[in-house]
């Protein structure tokens, strides 16, 4: 995953967690709704100022938003990190379910 895709994914995750539309986040962030959409799709690189405005609109700190930001090389064999980054963005309940599913798959494989 490249940095634009990772940042866009995080914006979408936090926006949905806060139950905001792209338009609502744009209004809170003083940015255009289409820009929010382009960021979420990884089509644009946000400036630091825009990212700051977005995190304020999401009511989270910029440092929390960027916490554990890892850029994963799509060609690298780092599936554990890729899996972690995907699961990390889910809420606690979904993380628990995903963990149980993975645990069951590994148990089936062992048999």
What is the 8-class DSSP label of residue 67?
T
94, burial (CB in 10 Å: exposed 0-12, middle 13-18, buried 19+):
exposed
Per-residue burial over 58-85, b if 16 or more Cβ lie within 10 Å, else e, is: bebeeeebeeeeeebeeeeeeeeebeeb
More reliable by pLDDT, 27 or 81: 27
45 and 54 in contact (C-beta within 8 Å)? Answer: no
What is the 8-class DSSP label of residue 44?
S
Domain residue ranges of the chain, discontinuous segments joined by + = 3-66, 79-110
* pLDDT tier for residue 76 given thresholds of 50, 70 and 90: low
Query: Helices in 18-91 by DSSP H: which ranges?
Result: 22-29, 33-40, 48-58, 62-66, 79-88
Report pLDDT for 20.
96
Q: The domain at 3-66 falls in which architecture?
A: Orthogonal Bundle (1.10)
Report pLDDT for 89.
75
Q: What is the mean pLDDT of the chain?
A: 87
Average pLDDT over residues 60-82: 72
pTM to 2 decimals? 0.65
Rg (the chain; Cα; Å): 16
Report pLDDT for 87.
81
* pLDDT tier for residue 91 given thresholds of 50, 70 and 90: confident
- The answer on pLDDT for 56 being more than 70 is yes
């Amino acid at each position: 995953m490249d940095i634009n895709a990772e940042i866009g994914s995080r914006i979408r995750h936090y926006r949905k967690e806060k139950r905001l539309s792209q338009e609502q986040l744009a209004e809170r962030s003083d940015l255009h709704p289409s820009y929010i959409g382009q960021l979420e799709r990884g089509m644009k690189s946000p400036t630091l100022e825009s990212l700051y405005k977005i995190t304020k609109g999401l009511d989270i700190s910029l440092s929390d938003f960027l916490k554990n930001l890892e850029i994963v090389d799509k060609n690298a064999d780092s599936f554990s990190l890729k899996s972690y980054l995907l699961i990390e963005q889910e809420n606690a309940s979904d993380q628990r379910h995903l963990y149980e599913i993975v645990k069951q798959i590994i148990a089936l494989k062992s048999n």
